Structure 1
């Protein structure tokens, strides 16, 4: 899959089948759109293209949301679904001021050379979010491209959306978030060196930086750590470690019955059950005592679910 960073890197773009959105988490609603996109592109014999944003509109306008997936994970997921091109646009002041009609004419038609376009039923675009499906329908006639709207998906009377998934994750409702995502929620990253305080109390942790402003999960969890296609049970803390005076959100995972050095290796942490919220303890000894209790809770969970 080709990654194109910015509209300025489009050159002699052939006709293509396009969809546009943040696609955070690539939940089953997104997957429905992308599957249609890939199928239509294959039938027409032209490339499929997903357009997403390096800065989300919400973040640009000062309303950042917890991201469900890193850019790397999103990009790899799109690749696995058979997308040919991923166009990444930086959402900035000049882009935010492009009118809906100019977005269609100057970007979709002239720059991207759209032949067929799929959008979600709640998709809005252009300055002040003035553009919608009806406007695209009007221009599709003039510029001879096909526009299709994909209706939202409901599971257990819940509309599938990134916002709904964030809500379920924040309360530890991992079974429901799994239904909407189509897979278990996870965070991936490369293991980095930490302050190594955990090993001084018998609980060495693998530290994974969360390179996002907000995390959709905070607290202590039972997790499965996937490394080199092998699964290991663990206890994970996501937070700023208030007892140790931390300020930056970090993922720390104590892998049960594991003694390998994995610095620099890429792992996936799959969330299974929330144990508790993060707490600031009055002493390091209190923290150590609580970690023992958390570990016991995790052992009981994995024993009962095996």
Structure 2
């Protein structure tokens, strides 16, 4: 899959194409249905399937304090989009210039002139352009004049309603990993490069591999049974995702203790697969109480693996 960062990097070879537009956070089953339909259109038109997305998320630009947690970082989103069939991703920087662009200019300058879109798929609720004035109806009015085919995104539903990123976030926040996995079509995973921390886990006798979140952290907190990928065969472990209230932490970290493992993990890119939610993040009176609880958490995770075993190391995970 080809990644193009910014419309200024588009070249004549990037046109014409078929395209869809969205944030695609999580690349859940609804997004996968969109990309499947886009792939069928690409085959009919014999053109590449192009995904247009934004960085940062528009809600992070307009109201960062109210923006939701991210399900996927850009790197993971790209990997999942490629796996779902995208042949090219154009990532537009969402800034004041893009927010102020008139909707008509977005259609003519980007979709028609820069990309040569012959087929476009968007949702009924898609809004774009200055003051969010652009919508599906405006795209439909322009389609005949500018020569592209327009289609609505398919809607995927289950017994809980429409499959959406919002529902995935709500399930994760509630510790309902089963519902989240059903909506995503896979277990929820976080990937990143192991960073140096304060070595508190090592001092307590439970060394951890720490992953940081440069932007919005995932919409979940607590202690989890996890499998770690990126070290050969999957490794069992227990993880804490949160701010470490016992030591007055502020930064959200994913701290993972791997069972029966020794070695230097700093700088390694790992994928942490969430298998079971154990409990909420708690504040303890002292480090000794924290140490005791970590031992209980680890034993609970080991019990889970004794019952269920390790997940297969298959292509559905986000391989580093």
Residue 95 to residue 137, structure 1, CA distance change in 2 (3 Å) = same
Does residue 104 (structure 1) correspond to residue 107 (structure 2)? The answer is yes
Task: Check the 8 A contact 1:224/1:272 in 2, yes or no.
Answer: yes
| 163-172 or 78-87, which deviates more | 78-87
Matches within 5 A, 1:235-274: 235-274=238-277
Task: Check the 8 A contact 1:3/1:87 in 2, yes or no.
Answer: yes
- Partners of 1:224 and 1:122 lie apart in 2 by 37
Corresponding residue of 1:213? 216
Task: Check the 8 A contact 2:15/2:114 in 1, yes or no.
Answer: no
Corresponding residue of 2:160? 157
- Partners of 2:232 and 2:77 lie apart in 1 by 19
**Tell me, what secondary structure is at the counterpart of 1:117?**
strand
Task: Compute the displacement of 1:212 (Å).
Answer: 2.2
Q: Unpaired runs of 5+ in structure 2? A: 310-320
Corresponding residue of 2:11? 11
Does residue 30 (structure 1) correspond to residue 22 (structure 2)? The answer is no
| 167-176 or 237-246, which deviates more | 237-246
Task: Check the 8 A contact 1:33/1:120 in 2, yes or no.
Answer: no
Does residue 204 (structure 1) correspond to residue 207 (structure 2)? The answer is yes
Does residue 90 (structure 1) correspond to residue 93 (structure 2)? The answer is yes
Give the TM-score normalised by structure 2: 0.91
Task: Compute the displacement of 1:302 (Å).
Answer: 2.1
Query: What are the superposed Cα offsets for residues 157-201 of structure 1, whole Å, 9 maximum, x if unpaired?
Result: 321110110000000111111111111101001112222221222
Corresponding residue of 2:77? 74
- Partners of 1:121 and 1:160 lie apart in 2 by 15
Does residue 172 (structure 1) correspond to residue 175 (structure 2)? The answer is yes
Matches within 5 A, 1:223-302: 223-302=226-305
Task: Check the 8 A contact 1:174/1:185 in 2, yes or no.
Answer: yes
Name the Cα RMSD after superposition.
1.5
Query: What are the superposed Cα offsets for residues 185-228 of structure 1, whole Å, 9 maximum, x if unpaired?
Result: 01001112222221222211111112222321211111111124
Query: What are the superposed Cα offsets for residues 232-289 of structure 1, whole Å, 9 maximum, x if unpaired?
Result: 1111001111222321111100111222322221111111211111112121111101
- Partners of 2:52 and 2:33 lie apart in 1 by 16
Matches within 5 A, 1:118-137: 118-137=121-140
Task: Compute the displacement of 1:89 (Å).
Answer: 0.5
- Partners of 1:283 and 1:157 lie apart in 2 by 42
Task: Check the 8 A contact 2:34/2:154 in 1, yes or no.
Answer: no
- Partners of 2:201 and 2:231 lie apart in 1 by 24
Give the TM-score normalised by structure 1: 0.95
- Partners of 1:30 and 1:109 lie apart in 2 by 24
Task: Compute the displacement of 1:86 (Å).
Answer: 1.1
- Partners of 1:225 and 1:100 lie apart in 2 by 44
Residue 151 to residue 82, structure 1, CA distance change in 2 (3 Å) = closer
**Tell me, what secondary structure is at the counterpart of 2:121?**
strand
Task: Compute the displacement of 1:95 (Å).
Answer: 1.0
- Total equivalences in the alignment: 306
Corresponding residue of 2:56? 55
Task: Check the 8 A contact 2:229/2:272 in 1, yes or no.
Answer: yes
- Partners of 1:190 and 1:106 lie apart in 2 by 38
- Partners of 2:203 and 2:93 lie apart in 1 by 44
Task: Check the 8 A contact 2:54/2:93 in 1, yes or no.
Answer: yes
| 161-170 or 221-230, which deviates more | 221-230
